[in-house]
Amino acid sequence: MSFGRYISPERDLGGGRMQCRNQLDGEIFIAAIEEGRDLFALERGRPPRNPRWCRFLHYTPAEGMYTCMIYRTRPRFCREYRCTRLVVMDGAGNKAGKMVGKTGLVTEDEQLSRIWEMQVKPILLKERDGSMEEIRKKLEEAGYQVLLYE
């Protein structure tokens, strides 16, 4: 998840526990390294392999895949995450909507819903290169922030 780069450890509490902040919504949470995970793989201060990756995402050779080292204590944003190409945040940084399917949006924000129907959907229906950047620009002009997962 590319938004993992917004999760930053703030204080080592010992015993594999860390106080962290999710910069996207300000949530402060206690992350606990999953039992049996390699603590050495999570050296404090070591940058993730890709700066866009979450520092808690690590390759586990035994399983042959990348896994979340703090799965049971991951932040709310991660727990509520559903596969999407785009998430919209309001001016205060709160989650305002999430794209679903090819053209849909889940939101309770009426203004955002109107903008989506009248200005964003027509762009999506044309499906051409650069569409997502065009959408980002439109929403940012209306005061929203946009996270693209592409």
Site string for ligand SF4, 100-119 (x = CB under 6 A): --------------------
SS3 16: coil
Site string for ligand SF4, 57-86 (x = CB under 6 A): x----------x-x---x---x--------
SS3 9: strand
Contact flag: residue 98 with ligand SF4 (CB under 6 A): no
DSSP 50-98: STTS-TTEEEETTTTEEEETTGGG--HHHHH----SEEEE-TTS-EEEE
* Least distance (Å) between residue 1 CB and ligand SF4: 4
Site string for ligand SF4, 19-58 (x = CB under 6 A): -----------------------------------x-xx-
Residue 94 corresponds to which tokens in the numbers above?
A: 């709160």
Nearest to 57 by CA among 13, 8, 4, 21: 4
Binding region for ligand SF4 (CB under 6 A): 1, 4, 7, 54, 56-57, 68, 70, 74, 78
